[in-house]
């Protein structure tokens, strides 16, 4: 039999952005219900996941770390030790002079931290069960949303679940990823850009230590990122800083060739893939001694034509998705969370608790975040266009690019500005 439940805010999507937003609202004593299609994991299941090294990492900016601290999750991540802080970033190109070095090797300061997705998720889910939030936060896990009904500006949305349950909320927040059901059901269009590239992701153990440095090599075929990974085993910790996460952007056909080599599952083909990757990295960290957890994903950018409608708002990947070359996708979503919560609470306090999620309030959020996200998305696209593809191979472009990197790298105030922007400050 169908049942109906009313709440102030409904969030669809139990990923990092959605849970962080739910916690942030609950800590401000706002009633919120979070709907996650994935079933809730037991403690044993979490521990089994944590025994594996995930090749994927999120490059958390200082701003994202601060937000995770505010909701009490970063403290748990720090206690686990499952993170790799970085104090320097190095960006260089294969076919030119000049490189960009972020951070000061004389006085190292934290630029950010590389953390595996499920490490962040576990900390966030632990926080949802804490006494200071569970009175205000309800989690519905393991059930999919089947339909959305808009009931008018006073009542908001009614959400239908696959078990017949119905939920009603004044404000509906879509945090359900790039293929967002909320965005589709709301009839919000999407601008997309296909890069005709595929990213190969894997974990590698290198001959030389990474020394808390995130590296990015701009190749004619695409970007190759070498990102510090946390040391997981006791053997890793005895000889630290040798594991990296790789994100290697390639033309689709070339990526398919390399992935097929991996599928052949022989020692010879594995050696071929290791050699190809080591050569592409210009042996920046020496030979590759181990390679594991290979995955791939197509590269594209997208942005919702609108972030808001009456009683509805999009955040994170549901609103925008960018090229991974700067590692800013999640960080942009976390900035969405901070902006939305601040704007919602400003109008709520100003109205003495009468206004929550009004369209005028949501429009302020859209005006704050959409232009910034657009600039970031197009900037990453421009960088990819300047370094990879036929246009990037033109000799005048190579010379201009090389000279530009050399000049920019020499201007210390400009480098500090870029460092602060990358940190979300």
Instruction: Specify the CATH number for the domain of residue 171.
Output: 3.50.50.60
Q: H or E element: which one contains 379?
A: helix 359-387
Parent domain of 145: 4-52+117-192+301-383
The pLDDT value given to residue 221: 87
Choice between 105 and 66, residue whose per-residue pLDDT is larger: 66
What's the whole-number mean pLDDT along residues 335-355? 95
Percent of the chain with pLDDT over 90: 66
The pLDDT value given to residue 413: 62
Residue 1's pLDDT band, with cuts at 50, 70 and 90, is very low
The pLDDT value given to residue 94: 75
| Chain segment 12-36, per-residue pLDDT in tens | 999 999 999 999 999 999 999 999 9
Residues 6+ apart with CB under 8 A from 354: none
Task: Give the span between the Cα atoms of 70 and 409, in whole angstroms.
Answer: 34
Asked if residue 176 belongs to a domain, the reply is yes
Asked if residue 127 belongs to a domain, the reply is yes
Percent of the chain with pLDDT over 70: 84
pLDDT over 90 (residue 423): no
Contact indicator for 67, 127 with CB cutoff of 8 Å: no
The pLDDT value given to residue 100: 76
Contact indicator for 28, 344 with CB cutoff of 8 Å: no
Asked if residue 106 belongs to a domain, the reply is no
Domain count, the chain: 1
Closest CA relative to residue 230, chosen from 117, 75, 62: 117
Asked if residue 399 belongs to a domain, the reply is no
Asked if residue 216 belongs to a domain, the reply is no
pTM of the model: 0.91
- CA dist 217 → 48, 384, 422 (Å): 34, 12, 17
| Chain segment 382-411, per-residue pLDDT in tens | 776 666 665 555 566 566 666 565 555 555
Asked if residue 254 belongs to a domain, the reply is no
Q: Which of 149-163, 273-287, 317-331, 360-374 has the lowest mean pLDDT?
A: 317-331
In 76-133 the beta strands, taken as DSSP E runs, fall at 84-86, 88-93, 99-102, 112-115
Closest CA relative to residue 424, chosen from 303, 342, 334, 343: 334
The pLDDT value given to residue 96: 61
| Chain segment 232-252, per-residue pLDDT in tens | 989 999 999 999 999 999 999
The pLDDT value given to residue 259: 86
Strand-pairing partners, residue 159, are: 148, 167
pLDDT over 60 (residue 71): yes
Asked if residue 13 belongs to a domain, the reply is yes
What does the mean pLDDT of the chain come to? 88
Task: Give the span between the Cα atoms of 161 and 414, in whole angstroms.
Answer: 51
- CA dist 400 → 73, 221, 331 (Å): 44, 18, 30
Asked if residue 41 belongs to a domain, the reply is yes
Residue 151's pLDDT band, with cuts at 50, 70 and 90, is very high
């Amino acid at each position: 039999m169908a049942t109906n439940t009313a709440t102030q805010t409904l969030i669809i999507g139990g990923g990092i952005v959605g849970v962080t937003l739910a916690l942030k609202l609950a800590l401000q004593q706002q009633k919120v219900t979070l709907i996650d299609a994935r079933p809730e994991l037991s403690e044993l299941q979490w521990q089994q996941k944590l025994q594996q090294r995930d090749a994927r990492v999120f490059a958390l900016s200082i701003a994202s770390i601060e937000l995770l601290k505010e909701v009490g999750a970063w403290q748990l991540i720090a206690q686990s030790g499952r993170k790799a802080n970085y104090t320097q970033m190095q960006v260089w190109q294969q076919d030119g002079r000049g490189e960009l070095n972020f951070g000061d090797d004389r006085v190292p300061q934290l630029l950010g931290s590389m953390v595996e997705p499920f490490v962040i998720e576990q900390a966030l889910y632990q926080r949802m069960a804490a006494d200071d939030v569970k009175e205000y936060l309800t989690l519905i896990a393991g059930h999919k949303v089947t339909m959305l009904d808009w009931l008018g500006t006073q009542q908001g949305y009614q959400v239908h679940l696959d078990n017949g349950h119905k939920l009603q909320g004044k404000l509906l927040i879509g945090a359900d990823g790039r293929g967002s059901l909320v965005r589709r059901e709301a009839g919000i269009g999407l601008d997309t850009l296909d890069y005709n590239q595929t990213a190969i992701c894997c974990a590698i153990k290198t001959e030389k230590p990474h020394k808390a440095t995130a590296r990015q090599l701009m190749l004619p075929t695409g970007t190759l990122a070498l990102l510090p990974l946390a040391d997981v085993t006791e053997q890793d910790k005895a000889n630290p800083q040798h594991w990296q996460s790789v994100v290697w952007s390639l033309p689709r056909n070339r990526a398919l060739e390399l992935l097929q080599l991996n599928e052949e599952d022989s020692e010879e083909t594995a050696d071929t893939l290791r050699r190809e990757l080591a050569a592409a990295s210009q042996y920046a960290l020496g030979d590759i001694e181990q390679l594991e957890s290979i995955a791939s994903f197509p590269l594209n950018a997208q942005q919702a034509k609108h972030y808001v409608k009456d009683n509805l708002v999009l955040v994170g990947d549901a609103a925008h998705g960018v090229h991974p070359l700067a590692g800013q996708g999640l960080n942009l979503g976390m900035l969405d969370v901070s902006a939305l919560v601040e704007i919602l609470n400003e109008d709520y306090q100003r109205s003495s608790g009468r206004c929550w999620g009004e369209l005028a309030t949501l429009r302020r959020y859209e005006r704050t975040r959409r232009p910034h996200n657009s600039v970031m998305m197009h900037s990453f696209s421009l960088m990819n266009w300047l370094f990879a593809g036929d246009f990037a191979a033109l000799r005048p472009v190579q010379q201009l690019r090389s000279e530009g990197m050399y000049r920019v790298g020499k201007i210390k105030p400009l480098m500090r500005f870029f460092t602060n922007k990358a940190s979300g400050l």
